[in-house]
Chain A
Amino acid sequence: MPKYTSMAYGSWEEMIFGTAKHPVSIGFGPVELGKKHVHPQIVPHPRPGSEATKEKILKEYQRMTEDALSHCAALGFPSIVIEFEHIYQMTSQPEWAAAIFAQAKAQMKGYYEKYGLKSALISTVADLRKPDMVNMRKCQEIDWMLATFDSTAANGADVLSIETMGGKEVFDYAIQRNDMKGIIFGIGVLSSIDMAWLWPQIVTIAKKHGITPGGDTDCARGNTAMFMAGGYTATDVPHTVAALARGCSAARSLVAYESGATGPTKDCAYEDPIIKAITGVPITMEGVASACAHAELQSNLVAAVVDLWSNEAVEYHDMFGGSSVEVFTEILGYNVAQMNAAIELGYAKELQAINVASDKYRDVHGFMLSPDNSYEIGKAIVANVDSYYLRAKAAVLKTAELISADKKMLLSDFEKDALAKARADVEALPDNEGDFIDMCLSEYSKVPGFDPTSYGF
């Protein structure tokens, strides 16, 4: 499979929210991503108990979809993308998922015909393969997943996406131990290999139905590290180690686009600014409106180069302002209205500068995801095309170098020590992938359930 060897943009300054080198059109309207406009994306989640029967879950999704669409009409929003991140019962029962998607698509069609409201529907299939419990390539779960990609593509999905789980068994072991070797092996090697195996199949299904293969995210690993690192007062995972893991995430998530995915990328892939710098695909990001799902230290900055602005996930329930889906559709709609007003007035670069200034030095995660640093990390990745391992290692070392070199990026003594140790550990790793993999296959045989045959070893 060919790897990216150059950057999509000549410099980071060319990157701006709302515009992508390779725009994508999806759904009713169509919704044009990356063509000088940022669109909102709402991700609703059903309440516990609604999964009890097909009838109940259909009703829940009907109401959530209606709330999103009607609120857009009420407030004058030009477009809306709705993402359904599958619950277990959808991916494991392709006929449930098909019914849910067909129902939502009919609702969206109705609003398009009545109001001209542009809309698109994303099917994010749940990766039910737990690497330490099943063989990733031969299990009931992969059969369910492929069947559900197909059933939702045939019943209204405009985009197919996923959050793949490869390498999580080794990553989970490693992140609990500040083990950079295991982090690179789990994310940079195992997860990349798993994606290279799965993504061509997803692209084939999307092409069969004439829809868009969207993207993947390192949520299961990169976001685990970031959320465990937490805020300023947490003491679970060093923030610097989480940032280095994110460098790996970019090298890994690139595999989707090398396999034929075109974007929109997956919203929780915080590595997406780096992906955009390399590929030029339109990216989805979640920032301040994802506070309903989790806290983060770069909520404004991640809007700097966004094309589709998401809320991560909101559980359906009542709030003072209406249902949670109505409230978060409203927040997203006004967020992008501000961005689009900036674009129309010629103030896009000013707004980007404001968002970057808000968070670049708040924490190392925002620092590495600022457009300038994303671009530099991207360059390190495309300069190392020999193997998944080498480009992941290069991304980690470049991230460490950037953090260390910028005097404004303050670090506590603990974080300085953690970064120095992590960097030294990575610099000591082998120079070629074969040696690294041999070393890791031996060392991580101690990780319960790790099965090298899941990755073709």
Chain B
Amino acid sequence: MIKTVNDLTDFDPIFIRYDIKIAPKKRAASDVSTDPALQAIAKGVVEGDEDMVAEASKAAIASKGPQTVIDTLILGMAEVSKLWDDGVYYLPQVILSSDALMVGLNMAEEALGSAVVKKGTVVMHCAHGDIHDIGKNVAAALIRANGYKVIDLGSDVPEETVVKAAKDNKADLVTGTALMTTTMSAFHRVAEGLTKEGINIPVVASGGAVSEEWVTSWDRGVYATFAKQGPEMAGDAASGMSWEDMRAKWNLVL
């Protein structure tokens, strides 16, 4: 009879469960308002409960005004970001919170009679010939939830469509994702198209087969490793940071 895994009791010589060893402590979400009516909105966002957000927003829009509701929604989402940063929340909880945030935001904007002024505009797409878009969708949700206007062009998008969308929407940033090495070539052509149109903005590229080495080999290219970086990168571009400065901040070019 040979020995098997059932004969082992100590696995440390083989692997160490760092996820158990350094597991973050559970913590409750912090309140963002002492006003129960507003805290109910924030709680709905933190818990990703669309119904709670809708009910609380409806009441608060009438009693406090839509702008106060919008401010509270944003504070709630900021608490969600903290919980994610602390390892207490995982992505699905952030996405559900983002869904709930959008419910309240749409109600408040309708009451306000106009859309909230956005921090900037980001045109997002998945490369021509590529249909692997879950990373783009996650990044879009995070960027949108952080107060930016997202023009999501979807998947398998021709280069000229991306350039036109950037021009028509006065975009601060274009992003592209791809899983295949032979579809990501399109990002370079998008960057060239922007240059031809005189649109001087960065092109952030990311995805399974996309490499920093390749993205930084052409003008305007800035490489992103994770969807989570999206909101800060959008902020950099919206604040007027050049693609060269963004590349210096986010990438290592030898």
Contacts and interface: CB of A to CB of B under 8 A. Distances in A.
A312 to B, nearest CB: 11
B192 to A, nearest CB: 14
B150 to A, nearest CB: 14
B129 interface: yes
B39 interface: no
A133 B156 contact: yes
Interface string A335-359: 0000000000000011001001111
Contacts of B92: 175-178, 237-238
A412 B134 contact: no
A438 interface: no
Interface in A87-146: 87-89, 92, 128, 130, 133
Contacts of A172: 133-134, 137
Interface string A389-431: 0000000000000000000001111110010000000000000
Contacts of B99: 177
A46 B14 contact: no
A66 interface: no
B17 interface: yes
A139 B4 CA distance: 52
A363 B207 CA distance: 25
A46 B182 CA distance: 7
Contact of B137 (A176, A232, A361): A176
A421 B176 CA distance: 35
A356 B11 CA distance: 12
A224 interface: yes
A235 interface: yes
Interface in A344-390: 349-350, 353, 356-362, 370
A133 B155 contact: yes
B26 A413 contact: yes
B143 to A, nearest CB: 15
A236 interface: yes
Interface in B93-137: 93, 95-96, 99, 129-131, 133-134, 137
Given A48-B184, A414-B90, A356 B4 contact: yes
Given A232-B18, A361-B11, A50 B23 contact: no
A193 interface: no
Nearest to A362: B15
Nearest to B18: A232
A176 B91 contact: yes
A353 B4 contact: yes
Given A48-B181, A48-B182, A50-B182, A235 B87 contact: yes
A346 to B, nearest CB: 11
B180 A87 contact: yes
A2 interface: no
Contacts of A232: 17-19
B214 interface: yes
Contact of A228 (B89, B91, B133): B91
For the residues of B in contact with A, the DSSP-based class is loop
Interface string A295-331: 0000000000000000000010000000000000000
A89 B90 contact: no
Contacts of A177: 92, 95-96, 99
Contacts of A360: 5
A252 interface: no
B91 A87 contact: no
A418 B88 CA distance: 12
A47 interface: yes
B20 interface: yes
A375 B132 CA distance: 32
A315 B91 contact: no
A121 B183 CA distance: 24
A226 interface: no
Contact of B95 (A92, A130, A176, A349): A176
Contacts of A67: none
Contacts of A362: 11, 14-15, 17
A443 B184 CA distance: 35
Contacts of A88: 129-130, 180, 182-183
Contacts of A233: 18-19
A10 interface: no
A45 interface: yes
Contacts of B154: 133
B83 to A, nearest CB: 10
B3 interface: yes
A353 B91 contact: no
Most chain A beta-carbon neighbours within 10 Å: one of B2, B180, B185: B180
B209 A315 contact: yes
Given A45-B181, A172-B134, A357-B14, A413 B156 contact: no
Interface in A196-246: 224, 228, 232-233, 235-238
B20 A410 contact: yes
A415 B88 CA distance: 11
Q: 6 closest A-B pairs (Cβ-Cβ)? A: A88-B129, A232-B19, A130-B131, A178-B92, A51-B182, A357-B5
28 contacts: A45-B182, A47-B181, A48-B214, A51-B182, A51-B185, A92-B129, A130-B156, A133-B156, A172-B134, A176-B134, A176-B137, A176-B141, A177-B95, A178-B96, A232-B19, A235-B90, A237-B91, A237-B92, A353-B4, A358-B14, A358-B15, A361-B5, A361-B11, A361-B15, A410-B17, A414-B90, A415-B19, A418-B90
Given A50-B182, A89-B182, A418-B90, 11 more contacts: A46-B182, A48-B185, A92-B129, A175-B92, A177-B96, A232-B18, A235-B84, A235-B90, A350-B2, A353-B5, A412-B20
Interface of B: 2-5, 8, 11, 14-15, 17-20, 23-24, 26, 84, 87-93, 95-96, 99, 129-131, 133-134, 137-138, 141, 154-156, 180-185, 208-209, 214
